Chains A and B, each alone.
Chain A
Amino acid sequence: MSSTKRYWMDLGDLHQHPEAIKGRENEFPQDLAIDQVLGDQNFQGASTGRRDFLKFLGFSLGAATLAACETPVIKSIPYVNKPEDITPGVANWYASTFYDGEDFASVLVKTREGRPIHVKGNTRFGINHNPKVGKGSINARINSSVLSLYDNERLKNPMHQGADATWADADKAISDKLAAAATAGKRIVVLTNTVISPSTKAAVAALKAKYATVEHVQYDTVSYSGLTNANAKSFGSRVMPSYDLTKADVIVSVDADFLSSWGSTTEHAWQYANRRDPNGAMNKHFQFEARMSLSGANADVRVPMKQSELPLAVISLHDHIAKKAGAASVGGSKAEIDAATAKAAEALWAAKGRCVVMAGSNNEGVQVLVNSINNMLGNYGSTIDLAGHTYFKQGDDAAVAQLVKDMNAGAIGALLIAGVNPAYSLPNAAEFKAGLGKVGLTVSFSGYADETASLCQWTCPDNHYLESWNDFLPKVGHYTLAQPAIRNLFNTRQWQESLLKWSGSTQSYHDFIRSTWEANMASRGVMGLFADQWNQAVHDGVYQAYAATPAPVTFAGDVNAAAAAAKQAAAGAGEWELVLYTTEAIGDGQHANNPWLQEMPDPLTKLTWDNYVCMAPADVERLKLNMYLGEKAPASLVTVKAGEREITLPVVPAPGQKAGTIAIAVGYGRGENGEKVGKAACITDHNGEFKPVGRNAYPLAAMVAGSMSFEVLNVTVTPTGATYPVAITQTHLTHMDRHSVVKETALGVYKAGDKSAYNHAHELAVHEDVNGDGKINAQDKKSVLEFDLWEEHPVEGVGHRWGLSIDLNSCNGCGACVTACNSENNIPVVGKDEVRRSREMHWLRLDRYFSSDTTKESAKADGLGKIDMYLKMEVPSESPKVVFMPVMCQHCNHAPCETVCPVAATTHSNEGLNQMAYNRCIGTRYCANNCPYKVRRFNWFNYVTEQFGEVNPAWDDLGRMVLNPDVTVRARGVIEKCSMCVQSIQAGKLAAKKAGTPVKDGDIQTACSAACGNGAIIFGDLNDKNSQVRGLATSDRSYHMLEEVGVQPNVNYLVKVRNVEEEAAHHA
């Protein structure tokens, strides 16, 4: 079937904007960096003549030669007493747990010579463990967390009023003040994020046992108070339930970004991916939302709605279902919204008990309605588990608001703050700061002198989680452990241990956890030796104590009151509505100091190093703002005003965004007042000023109806007329053209079984009578596989042939593979200015393609002429379909890069790998020019220099500890690219050789395949007849990107299949 749908990469491409087209003609849009050197004023004024130059040259040559004669003396210092389980040169993996109040995952930590260098999901246990692929699902924030261990701005000692102090002094002073506060009957408040650690709760209880006035207040930066309160009202338990998406045939999400930020995301991600397999029972996903979220981008049916219409959508869904169920409707929606939700309601009703409805709103009323819908659909006990609920998001917005008031009233004797940063993240931060001054004792446990810690009297820095012992209870009966992978780097102490100390205990926190566990197990009558069970739990990282007992669920919510509250939440909409969200990389802002995360392009906007206003392209056009962003095309600045509060940010046109609603990410603008919050939170901007990355959008949130609302329905947007350079990776990487890059089809077409309908083979016309009809014409075609410019490489059947298979259906675009690759392969961080010049160094990028809805067929039906048809095909649909596509070196068996290298620096291995020898490379960049996939990166600079010290972790001695010692740090002037983690391949082969067995499928993983718990990236040996990757590569969905070029890659993609009926097949 011929081309029906056009894919475009960005708006510049879509509109054939001259700037974009011009940019595409050049492989490297930026001129040579030599300008910078020659443009230097100092050089122009210099008077170095030719003879002087030759003298200098001669001298330098001689000096360098003489200097080089010195054999460097390298000291090698062995252990005095080597620990039994450490062998220098061999990695050790430790099971641990990552939890920061926002994300949770059971992880494995890779250490080399005692240094943690890489984090991946637990391959055997945990709620994020995907049993289907044997990997743990994680996100970019989790695997990047290893880098924050080595942040030089971490506090190295306890601090008192900004000066270093000792633990003894801190303990004495704080204990005294706590005692004084307790005696005076003043409240001692422990303010934390949601604590899911039983032992931490016990430690707080121990403090309370000592000081009777101790209280524990939990504060979620991104609040779910509305949801948990709704559950309290509906079912009598104030919890976040546990969702089982593997059982859900239909998922309807109203603004809940459950793959990226809503609920137990690492768990949802793999469950969702497992149900996206078109060979199995594929789920159907409806998403109603205003901004394009990651979940929305993955949805089968995405309906863009204004933020103020979303509560009505929930009402409308409720009434549709109520009608079918014979229950009373609440009423109050609009006809057009009822029409928009009708299909979803029908699908839900057809899948009663096998579906789920979720809403992202923090409005109690909306959530009660959602509970009612799920109750009517019989989802409790199947897709939603209330008895086996999670312990996430216990925070209570009302309690936090009350605390701020009490602080200002002088009612708080002491405030101990752990895991949260209210002076940054509270909308009423100013009030909070004022209140801090009225509290008798303020202690922060932050690892940095951040916004809150710098205002506290004492800072008792907590360990990094990789230096800590802890236990967690994410779900009923499911315990996990965190164990230290390295001894404390600095003079820090776990905050729980501080609490224990102040409560008069001398126990270490590790012993404390052990004793709580021992008591807990004894009380539940667990048989066997505790030490054995403990050791097993530490080894596995997970201890499944018991399963929740299912209990009947009775819905007791008042739907009419809820509907009234929901309508209230939809009222008062102005011309512009604003929604605040968290990005895939930065999240709620805790990790804004992580350079890997700052440089990870946003999955949808492809922007790095900034937050911005996402605006519908139609609105951008209406306001006459800059639509086409690029290296030399900056974004327009606008001021967004919500009541008294305002923020000025660049505007990024975001296809899929509902016109009239704008979106801004929180988590940026850390360290606004010069606080030292970590390495990359502030960078030198284009004006040479050292400034925070992005602006803080938290002040725009507000308390509405007892919970924190992250939407403001009436804001003003005023263009300032100024522009702002943005670092966007979107336009840089052109793909020759879109044809045959992305293939997608509808489930029905796929199920019909005709491969040529959705994944046709590429053929070329030849000048011979192939079909034997006696004529030579365009019908005489041969498969592209029969054409060869290159000599045959003996790969098939000879030794190994490593390959990757990438499933466009399972990939949700989270980007964990990108940061995993950064960590494994020592990829330099280059900073905003270099990314803007399209010089980012990522070996693995995540391409995102939007679709245009007009097809040749529909144009024909509408009677459009050719020109009109093409014009129309360029009009973006209101809600484009999205395809995410991880692209790394394709390891072509007929690699065009290898042919053009004048020094044979890039060659082919007999295992199918396209090798890159950095020491041979002389930097002609011919290979990058000749690569059809544009995956080769050139080292424009030595990134391990002061110039990049602000952003590149490898610059300082501490940051350098994160480097993988098995991978070379590349120097300036060479090309680098994905090696398919050849270091892991070699290590895996060696392990097999030593064991005397063939390499077992799945034993070797690349960083990206190990990071993808969704099973979207599968690595293996294509020559192994039984390997999973071979099975996928020879399946009907498998295709090669740009197959017609004939480069025969070892990486294949699986056609994206959407669970939609109406659409015809698409491939080109």
Chain B
Amino acid sequence: MPLVARISERSTGLLYATLALFLTLSFTAVHAQPADAALYATGEKLFKGNCGACHKPDKDLTGPALKGARARWEGKGDIYAWIKNSSDYLKTGNAYANELFAKWNKSVMTAQALTNEEIDAVLYYADNYAPPAPKTADGGGARVPQGPNDAGAAWPWLVVLALLFLVVALSLSGVKKGLANAVQEAEGKQPLPERTMGQSIREWAWNNKAFASIIGLFFVVFIVLKLWDAAWVIGVYGGDEVEHYKPEQPILFNHTLHAGKSEAGNLAINCQYCHSSAEKSKHAGIPSTNICMNCHTAVNEGRSPEGTKEIAKIYAAVGWDPNTKQYTGKTEPVKWVKVHNLPDHAYFNHAQHVAVGKLECQECHGPIDEKMDVAEQWAPLTMGWCIDCHNQKEVKMAGNGYYDEVMARLNETDLGHSELKKYLEDDKISVKELGGWECAKCHY
């Protein structure tokens, strides 16, 4: 990466950091604190853990908004019993409960193993809920990603300018030649011999050796630098220095928001909720749009206006009319850009690594849940990187009948036993030792 670009990226980062700090401070300053901050916090935590999937404090979702629930129940029944086990409570014949049940499409609320105190905390939180201040570009909301070309947006103009200069220079040289010929003619001499551009340049260079060499040197250095950079980009050198591939996607899906930790205000959805085939198939799979609709049937607003726009793109893709809450039948698949590209001759299987090797997604995909609002390639995905891991990782053999058989066979013969001893020199059986470095494990 060119030095300039690096500096510019760092400074942008610094800028964002300052901005964030400032916003955080100001947010803290203006945000009204509830009377019992501790109870509010407990309630918030419980709410997010148990209720958030179906309720919002201030809006109806699958279930009703919880703000004011206590007041609504006042004198009509036992809200604690209702929350703890709604279907049991319905059987008591409570009129309000049955009215609510009918109103909310007769969907039974999951029984909640909460104490009365905890319910108090949740309701306290809901009653005192204050929506967070609108998110800024940096706040974990739907930040518009910086396109890879943003920084260099001036280059087409530079090219245009360069072309203009070239045209001017060529016409000038034509004029000059014409004038020189005119002079020759005026002096009664033969016109200058017609020369090709190459010859002219060569002659000029011969006459201005020092200057030409300096220009030439610069040119060579420039080309070498460019090639060097290009080689970085295509991952020739491998390692951590590889440029992270982060293409612009048709929908600005925010991984951090969806999969990030709930403490940070994110949704903490398990990766495999959407990438469900990671356990079953070689492909982790890009979730089909109907998976999005599991939540986004209800969640039709983003945390920012931009977010809402992006959600609308899902609706357009799947053919959902958010107003009538009906499918229109007109669909348009989302054309995602593939981020992790392996060469054709390399076979990689997610299921092997996720279901059998029990790796966390982050081990190869990086902190996708923490700081990747837009998915990017984190690991170099070179063969060196693969086999490095195969060399270090211990095979998760415990409790797997397949590996029990492998161990049983190793213990059966002398040859096997001596092999096993070799394996265990470093007190573990690595992937490599069971054949994880062999060609036809990945290439066939």
Contact = CB atoms under 8 A, between A and B. Distances in A.
Interface in B402-423: 402-406, 409-410, 412-413, 415-416, 419
B415 A80 contact: no
A261 to B, nearest CB: 36
B444 A979 contact: yes
Given A69-B230, A74-B337, A917-B439, A990 B356 contact: yes
A87 B280 contact: yes
A90 B347 CA distance: 14
B335 A75 contact: yes
B277 A993 contact: no
A915 B227 CA distance: 36
B444 A968 contact: yes
A917 B346 CA distance: 10
B323 to A, nearest CB: 20
B341 A798 contact: no
Interface in B268-325: 277, 280-283, 285-291, 317-319
Nearest to A981: B444
A75 B338 contact: yes
B112 interface: no
B333 A77 contact: yes
A936 to B, nearest CB: 15
A80 B330 CA distance: 10
Contact of B345 (A66, A69, A968): A968
Contacts of A82: 288, 290-291
A948 B404 CA distance: 50
Interface in A940-992: 966-969, 979, 982-983, 986, 989-990, 992
Contacts, number: 171
Interface residues of A, number: 55
B277 A74 contact: no
Contact of A80 (B230, B317, B337, B435): B317
B2 interface: no
Contacts of B413: 796-798
A88 B285 contact: yes
B116 interface: no
A673 to B, nearest CB: 42
A909 B444 CA distance: 13
B351 interface: yes
A77 B335 contact: yes
Contacts of B434: 799, 910
Interface string B235-266: 00000000001010000000000000000000
B352 A990 contact: yes
A993 B441 contact: no
Given A88-B277, A911-B435, A1023-B409, A76 B338 contact: yes
Contact of B402 (A65, A79, A917, A996): A996
B288 A998 contact: no
Contacts of B349: 986, 990
A529 interface: no
Given A798-B416, A913-B440, A998-B402, A78 B288 contact: yes
B400 A993 contact: yes
B399 interface: yes
A80 B316 CA distance: 11
B238 to A, nearest CB: 15
Given A911-B435, A994-B355, A798 B336 contact: no
B275 to A, nearest CB: 11
B365 to A, nearest CB: 15
B334 A78 contact: yes
A983 B435 CA distance: 15
B22 to A, nearest CB: 36
21 contacts: A66-B230, A71-B233, A72-B341, A78-B286, A79-B289, A81-B290, A89-B277, A89-B281, A798-B409, A798-B416, A798-B419, A909-B435, A915-B438, A915-B439, A916-B440, A917-B440, A983-B444, A993-B402, A993-B403, A997-B401, A997-B402
Interface of B: 227, 230, 233-234, 245, 247, 277, 280-283, 285-291, 317-319, 331-338, 341, 344-345, 347, 349, 351-352, 355-356, 399-406, 409-410, 412-413, 415-416, 419, 434-435, 438-441, 443-444
Given A73-B247, A799-B409, 13 more contacts: A78-B336, A79-B290, A81-B289, A87-B277, A797-B415, A907-B439, A918-B345, A919-B443, A966-B444, A989-B402, A994-B355, A997-B402, A999-B402
Interface of A: 65-66, 68-69, 71-82, 87-90, 794, 796-799, 907, 909-911, 913, 915-920, 966-969, 979, 982-983, 986, 989-990, 992-999, 1023
Give the 4 A-B residue pairs with the shortest CB-CB distance, closest first. A797-B413, A89-B281, A915-B440, A82-B288
